[in-house]
Amino acid sequence: MPRQPVPRRRELTEEERGEVVLRVLQSSVDGVPRLGTMKKVAAGFRVVPRTVSRIWKRVLKAKEVTGLWSAASLRHHHGRPTKDVTAKLEMLRGVNYACRDTLQLPVVFFVGRCIAV
């Protein structure tokens, strides 16, 4: 009878990613993982070896930049980046509330034309 495949997981928590890094570091020589390490670690966490490999690559990149062995999640790094509008908000706070209106003059619309009163 064939063995049932072990269900795989897609995401690891922050603690689990740290544990993955620790296990890969424990079985590495001079910062280079030994042959078969990724497969062993992946089997322990029920993820595909590619996930462990990606985490390891992120850790190496973070080590070069920050000097720390950490693998932050990339889960919320998608989509449109937020704009910094603090300068505009501060400028608006300095303006009188009555002057903040978008229409400076009362305007009457008459058959497709705009007539200022």
Encode burial over 40-65: b for 16+ CB neighbours within 10 A, e otherwise.
ebbeebebbeebbbebbebbeebeee
Instruction: Spell out the domain ranges in the chain.
Output: 14-66
pLDDT > 90: what percent of the chain?
16
Which residues are 28's β-sheet partners?
33
Structure tokens at 36: 């078969």
pLDDT > 70: what percent of the chain?
76
Residue count of the chain, please give it: 117
CATH, domain 14-66, list 1.10.10, 1.25.40, 1.10.490, 1.10.150: 1.10.10
At residue 23's C-alpha, the angle toward residues 22 and 26, to 5°, is 85
pLDDT tens track for 4-55? 676 677 778 888 888 999 999 998 888 788 999 999 999 998 999 999 999 9
